[in-house]
Structure 1
């Protein structure tokens, strides 16, 4: 029985990772939600809130276990293609499980479970349907990471963005509403550009399947080539806005600082969706072997990433609140990751992905720490101004010190290891002076900015004014400690994680194998798609007609 269940899960693993949060959200909606109810108060509504929390946490825990299973399945290097409705690619919708998608799904749930536990300490009662919207967000994230089709990437982007609109406003407040309007307008604009970019790419390739488009782009010439390159640049603008790259980062600090602590912590993974889309589109479709369209965005992406990293840390130095400081550090970390992606070498991409794991969990933990500290500083909150001493200076001081050391990349923490890997990957490149200067300089300025914040929080204290809160419950403290434990674990298992990201980067460079697996599955039999492309005929795996076609003569 157990073996049959495991076999069924193995065959349907990709789609189950999308269905689990979707069905959980529907079940939570059916339970109803009247908000502002405490289970400690008893009564029917309090009991339903307790059940909502149990169901939500159980689903997130199961999702984390399933995501770990996805990584195990993908670690061997085999790609799993799930054909919805048994329509083969490129005709139908497919989900593709490879090392990259599995890693990103695992990272999503690794962030989501502690955040959900923290929110269940009381934040989920500040508005309605928090848990349901949270799981719709997870559905959008998992779908975006697993889809093998560009249009469905757009669809899942919209799902997670709609959920994020609601989560950003959770708890209400004038500042959240103001920043929420900016956030919605910018993302709606990006969605319109996304559709324009997809239309342009479809016009010249006749497909939006990533594997199919990757083969067809390599054969483009003339006006079709220029149209495809224009589509690549438009998509870079779209993904750059999602990832908060310069000059499209200005929305993030205000929005993340205005959001509630658990929502801001969950949003630590949101910028990584933009980075993931850049990797998936500009490595797989417009990557190293895309013919004349190869590396279309590199002249734009690398300078943007370097400037993003610098401006992000300068914003952190100038921040007047702890939440904005962490938000600007999020921007800076995206720039560092973008540098690794923009170098377009497997070694640099591997380092960037390792650093992605580190920066996501550190930023999520720091956002939760901000609320814990702000709640104990009386009316001053998280503003970087002298205030009465916090009730738990030792506990919060340790959290602050660990978070600062992690964010700055001090040894032996994973931030240090990730930056060393990135510097080593650029050692033989002509751009080494720029990369080394920015990465090392940003690390130093991060230390300065966080040291300044720590001095204000713990040394520049005023006499008590009677408004400081008591210590927080262990339930709220558990989530930041969980993120710190993940950070330590990344350093302890750095070697196997690095081996995984190395293999991941190599897998992404093998475009032909990816296309053969995705496009050559129908009823368990391989279609004739493995013939080498000789540059004269259309790549065999991109032919849409079931009838044999004659080869074009030179």
Structure 2
């Protein structure tokens, strides 16, 4: 048990990586599952993949509990000391993102085992590589390794994007790959500029060294910060870099699009970690470099996202645009650059991720019962389960729009309260409230067409897509959103502590670095430091 606890921080990366290798070795031939041999392989692939994701959820929950107690756990891979070696660092933010990833991945994978995993080869192996990249990005303590894990999750997402094939998936998949390759090139340029002026890429070490870089050298760091904002803004779907997302997410298979709901949050996470901490308040001449542009762009993102949702002609595209709008709301909270606003943004991000993932799955359940009209927002045959699916859409719409007492309302209220004393408070209040109202209008319009404006001259199309497994997986994601409301007080305390912890540079230095170079550590903070390393 001691050994397990010692190596626990690296397991969220190793577990999906090893699972993917095992799946490749046994042959996860989903596309060849018609024969008895291929069917047996697919069954084993499903069992192994689901078991791995369940174990990952348990590990993430354990890390979140320990992080909630104030622990900062640093794990030095190969026992090479930071800032020279590869380091994994588990804090409240990283542990929370690991848990969120697992909470999305488990129901999505369960949904995929209902048949989507058989539409292409090696679905489960690629799914695990995707989780490896996501988890690695959330726990790495090094800026270059953040780039490495970005590439791992992106390469896996390229394959998942075209899973099930189809002309439209390949078309938007090409755009998706080309744009991400360009963003990756910019990432390396930003990293090179930072290393040229600081001599390190360890995030904890950067938090100490960046404040010491003064003008004119700090101009290079400011340029690097802006370059990285372009990169992370593209990943997060920040306007004007978000136009790729609606076509990509709406073309992907439903379980893939649902998993992709967490991918935009990798960009949000990177903005918090790099621009909020390394280049945040107290970073010397390079402090808050992106503050003048982040909040306006976030509000623009939210406004454009909801306008796109109103103009959408299919349910998946509407949900994809709502993904953009929700990212804008989250980044608006981040752009306020206060602990209170960050806490609100993190709470809202948890809810929006779960609801958006659930909506992508729900879109297919509804479309499967509407005949040739599928997910198009036009009158068609009545669905076979109007009460069940209608209530699920109503729940998702209420939470997304921010109606009380659901967590969408709580998160938006927290953001509005945090913005009250900010110079941009009028803009923030106006955009958040109007976007919430228009979101409700858009989803109400969609629900009205799908469940009320039906063609009586057409027969019901049966219960296709009404499998209890598919419905239960979708309901789990929406129920998790309700749980955020029931557990609002402890979760809010956790996000508040997370926001406060991110501002404590000395605590990160004590956890990550053996020698903080003479920095005076602030011992008044109630954070215990535990260093984990292989022995």
Name the TM-score, length of structure 2 as normaliser: 0.96
Is the partner of 2:75 in helix, strand or coil? strand
Residue 128 in structure 1 maps to residue 121 in structure 2: yes
CA distance in 2, matches of 1:336, 1:263: 23
Residue 221 of structure 1 deviates from its aligned partner by: 1.5
**Paired residue for 1:158?**
151
Residue 113 of structure 1 deviates from its aligned partner by: 0.2
Work out whether residues 214 and 284 of structure 2, in 8 Å CA contact, stay in contact via their aligned partners in 1.
Answer: no
Structure-to-structure mapping, 1:237-252, within 5 angstroms: 237-252=230-245
**Per-residue CA distance 1:251-270 (angstroms, 9 max, x = gap):** 00000000000000000000
**Paired residue for 1:67?**
60
**Paired residue for 1:541?**
none
CA distance in 2, matches of 1:449, 1:137: 32
Residue 26 in structure 1 maps to residue 21 in structure 2: yes
Residue 499 in structure 1 maps to residue 493 in structure 2: yes
Larger RCO (alpha carbons 8 Å, 6+ apart): 2
Q: Which ranges in structure 2 are unaligned for 5 or more consecutive residues?
A: 522-535
Structure-to-structure mapping, 1:471-510, within 5 angstroms: 471=464, 472-510=466-504
Residue 389 in structure 1 maps to residue 377 in structure 2: no
Is the partner of 2:266 in helix, strand or coil? helix
**Paired residue for 1:15?**
10
**Paired residue for 1:519?**
513
| Bigger Rg over Cα | 1
Work out whether residues 510 and 516 of structure 2, in 8 Å CA contact, stay in contact via their aligned partners in 1.
Answer: no
| Match of residue 257, structure 2, among 260, 264, 283 | 264
**Paired residue for 1:354?**
347
Is the partner of 1:328 in helix, strand or coil? helix
Structure-to-structure mapping, 1:94-113, within 5 angstroms: 94-113=87-106
Structure-to-structure mapping, 1:163-242, within 5 angstroms: 163-242=156-235
Work out whether residues 136 and 149 of structure 2, in 8 Å CA contact, stay in contact via their aligned partners in 1.
Answer: yes
CA distance in 2, matches of 1:50, 1:242: 34
Work out whether residues 312 and 331 of structure 1, in 8 Å CA contact, stay in contact via their aligned partners in 2.
Answer: yes
| Match of residue 35, structure 1, among 25, 30, 39 | 30
CA distance in 2, matches of 1:401, 1:14: 39
Work out whether residues 28 and 124 of structure 2, in 8 Å CA contact, stay in contact via their aligned partners in 1.
Answer: no
CA distance in 1, matches of 2:252, 2:222: 37
Is the partner of 2:216 in helix, strand or coil? helix
Structure-to-structure mapping, 1:76-475, within 5 angstroms: 76-463=69-456, 465=458, 468-471=461-464, 472-475=466-469
CA distance in 1, matches of 2:279, 2:28: 46
CA distance in 2, matches of 1:37, 1:479: 25
Is the partner of 1:16 in helix, strand or coil? helix
Q: Which ranges in structure 1 are unaligned for 5 or more consecutive residues?
A: 521-526, 534-554
CA distance in 1, matches of 2:427, 2:111: 40
